[in-house]
Amino acid sequence: MHNHWEFLAPPIDPSALTTVGTATRHRHVLVVETLRADGSRPSPGEDGFLPVRRVEPHHLVVRAGRWYLVAYDLENRQWRVLRVDRLRPRPTTQCFSPRELPATASPASS
């Protein structure tokens, strides 16, 4: 059995990670485009195409060598977990007030 840490994560664009991290820290809305695994963006009508999204970034998480953004999608009004290596983020200067994450199960008592 392989440990998930043994698998190489795809390379991440440092400027994308910086953009997402800065927007998260300053509570600025991000505009994000979803990319294919090869870094290209599908055109409308192609498989895998998703419209540009405006999101409120909540926090960054690293898991198994991959960076994920937990964000609130303003168009769909839903929480999303997005892989940062699959995003083309564009910063905005639009500030937002932080939202509370959806309720989670309480820890089991001992």
Closest CA to 85 of 44, 42, 43, 33: 33
Q: How many Cβ atoms from other residues are within 10 Å of residue 64's Cβ? A: 11
Average pLDDT score over residue span 8-30: 91
pTM of this structure: 0.82
The predicted structure's pLDDT at residue 8:
65
Q: Mean of the per-residue pLDDT values for the chain?
A: 87
Handedness of CA 73, 83, 13, 65 (dihedral sign): positive
